[in-house]
Amino acid sequence: MEVLKSPLSASQKGKLISAGYTSINLLSSVSPSHLALELKISEAEALEILKTVSDGSRSESTSTSCTIVKGAQSAWDMLQEEETLVRITTSSSDFDNILGGGISCKEVTEIGGVPGIGKTQLGIQLAVNVQIPFDYGGLGGKAIYIDTEGSFMVERALQIAEACGDDMAEYSRLYRKGFHSHEVKIQPKDFLENIFYFRVCSYTEQIALINYLDKFITDHKDVKVVIIDSITFHFRQDFDDMALRTRLLGGMALKLMKLARKFGVAVVVLNQVTTKYSDGSFHLALALGDSWSHASTNRIILHWNGNERYAYIDKSPSLRSASAPYSVTGKGIRDSPSNNKRIKNI
């Protein structure tokens, strides 16, 4: 690897090259003090350079050698982890089924669909469902809701929270008679208290907030889901420089994936649809273009099929491509009423 491509500042690179260190391999046997003398820099700075450089070359070597590297994981471990992976229910059992139990934590899931299909509804539902306590098969976590469009409705969140509380009360009445008779029902107020709502008014704020989330979640460890409604809005207007847009979106996607991995949170990104020309005809497709479509781990499209709303898994490394009906009711997302377990495998 060349010094030019290493993550060092320009003046440091300049000094290295003028001292003859054009390749990083040449630095492998240099001591910090020697380097400091040669480049006429402080010893601390020389140490810093050597550290950076060895970090870079180490990550490069992983591709060639199979040695055990810090930060890597064996496939077996990953499987173990996947199996214990917790999921957030969508409140529709059919939808959960095709997702393998719900929206998975540690992954970025993108959900798109036409206006009015229920994206925001699903977002609010997840923000409530993530709080279902462990005793009820939930995560007992908290939610971050990032609203870029201003479509979040407090009244609706209250409604969904009430319904969720009622369902839990019903559940404990049916299945644990006499068990926890002293148990008190979770109030809708408590649900709403645990949703952190951010209103983002420009793309700069959106980037800033996503950078800041790292710190925020460190301070609020029990956050288990981050919902961005929607990722698209600010990036679809006021943008002349498409290359810049792609770059910013790419950076954001990476940060979201990192967040999901690092804290084990589910990142749910809502996206709008647009029309796209391919194979000689126009189709609906999720917005932000092809390069963005690589950004999320899972991609779900919500669409109309006849008179029913369907969720379709468009892309996922671990799930089969399938679709399932769901419905949006006064209580939130639920199973489709007319459905009798007819999940189609494609």
# binding residues, other proteins (CB under 8 A): 88
Smallest separation (angstroms) from other proteins to the CB of 179 = 29
Is the separation of the CB atoms in 249 and 221 below 8 Å? Answer: no
Q: Restricting to residues 255-284, which ones interact with other proteins according to CB under 8 A?
A: 272-275, 278-279, 281-284
Q: Is residue 9 near other proteins by the rule CB under 8 A?
A: yes
Task: Pick from 99, 122, 200, 226 the residue near other proteins by CB under 8 A.
Answer: 200
Q: Of residues 99, 126, 328, 333, which one binds other proteins by CB under 8 A?
A: 328
Distance CA 82, CA 100 (A): 11
303 forms part of the interface with other proteins (CB under 8 A):
yes
> First-to-last CA distance in the chain?
46
Cα–Cα distances in angstroms (integers) from residue 176 to residues 28, 48, 165, 183, in the given order: 65, 60, 16, 11
Please report whether residue 219 would count as binding other proteins according to CB under 8 A: no
Cβ neighbours around 338 below 10 Å, total: 10
| Chain CA centroid to CA 279, Å | 31
CA distance 186 to 235: 38
- Residue closer to other proteins (CB basis): 65 or 278: 278
**With contact defined as beta carbons under 8 Å apart, do 260 and 73 qualify?**
no
Name residues contacting other proteins, limited to 105-144 (CB under 8 A).
Answer: 114-116, 120-121, 144
CB of 221 to other proteins, least distance (A): 16
Per-residue x/- track, 67-106, other proteins (CB under 8 A): ----------------------------------------
Binders in 175-194 for other proteins, by CB under 8 A: 189, 192-194
Answer whether 18's CB lies under 8 Å from 36's CB. Answer: no
Q: How far is the CB of 180 from other proteins (least distance, A)?
A: 25
